Amino acid sequence: MRTYLVTGGAGFIGSNYIHYMFRKYGDQIRIINVDKLTYAGNLENLTEVEKLPNYTFVKADICDKEAISGIFAENDIDRVVHFAAESHVDRSIKNPEVFVQTNVLGTAVMLNAARAAWEKEDGTYPEGKKFLHVSTDEVYGSLPEGEGYFYETTPYSPHSPYSSSKAGSDMLVKAYMDTYHFPANITNCSNNYGPYQFPEKLIPLIINNALNGKKLPVYGDGKNVRDWLYVEDHAKAIDMVQEQGRLFETYNVGGHNEKQNIQIVEIIIETLQEMLPDSDPRKAHVSKDLITYVEDRKGHDRRYAIAPDKIKAEIGWEPETMFKDGIKKTIRWYFEHEDWMKNVTSGDYQKYYETMYTV
């Protein structure tokens, strides 16, 4: 049975990845989920798997050398999938040090622990051991409107404390691959959306605010462009890179779905109006009148666009979920999980760990 150590598995993308892996492999794999349970880590994301005999949750900080080394010492870890990161640009502008601590130092701790556990005396590594570092397209900076794409060879040019800290962590992984021949891959992905996303991010924020008749804040002129990918497609890409990716390579993961932020907001409003029955009183206040333009974010990148040519050519991955389908699936999930959204927005979800795991 192959053992996966997943960091940040209680977060949005991490929890979706864990669900995907159990759906695909069932009892053929074991997953150890390490999460600090910050505001964005929510064990309610994993209620469907928490009682599986081949799933283990460990509450720990990736910056805690002793805790992380202990997990490697007590378990024969085959694969590391490293999601754990502070990831919200606005929060990074207000408190950059936290992002450097978690994203750079935490990644160094993970790399050191994996290397200490895996490296043989002759400097080689056992067959099948692999570390996958999950990163972002934001490390590449900003593209002119309508011109060009991010490739794996695009020079890094991060503009926010968040993207700079992720660039730093990417560089650490690259250095370990070059210096120690450490068995790793890096994936740089575009914006994700889907179930379990914390409602500080654009799509769940707009869904939640629109349903509650609250203002829909849009930065600047709303014309900043992002490439959107349904989160399950990302989970599949990560698994395929683990299985088929060439060691030491970086793979860009993108959705072929560029949209301006204002377009996203308008699509959500139109989809909510379409999906809500006439009998639902919330339908009356879902309107474009709620759109409110706010002062632009500091250092706001104008456009991101990923070219996933390499991952398609080498591995055969490509996005499967069209945005019009993905946004309907996402909204339907939020309709069916209103208690989850209430718990997240109220902070009650943080009590879940105490209820489930405190003796």
> Would you report the helix, strand and coil content of the chain in percent, each value rounded to 5?
50, 15, 35
Q: How many Å apart are CA 126 and CA 110, to the nearest integer? A: 18
Active site residues: 137-138, 162
Q: Which residue is listed with tokens 């080498």?
A: 314
Measured CA to CA, the distance from residue 15 to residue 234 in angstroms comes to 12
Determine the distance from the C-alpha atom of residue 263 to the mean position of all C-alpha atoms in its chain, rounded to a whole number.
22
Residue bearing tokens 């959204």: 341
- What contacts 206, CB < 8 A, 6 or more positions away? 216, 264, 265, 268, 269
DSSP letter for each residue of 163-229 = HHHHHHHHHHHHHHHHHH---EEEEEE-EEESTT--TTSHHHHHHHHHHTT--EEEETTS--EEEEE
What's the rounded Cα separation, in Å, for the pair 37 and 53? Answer: 22
CA distance 224 to 302: 5
Non-local CB neighbours of 166 within 8 Å, separated by 6+ positions: 85, 103, 135, 136, 138, 139, 158
Distances in Å between the Cα of 66 and the Cα atoms of 95, 103, 112, 132, 305 are 26, 18, 11, 21, 39
Q: How many other C-beta atoms are found inside a 10 Å radius of the C-beta of residue 51?
A: 7
Q: At 16, which helix (H) or strand (E)?
A: helix 12-25
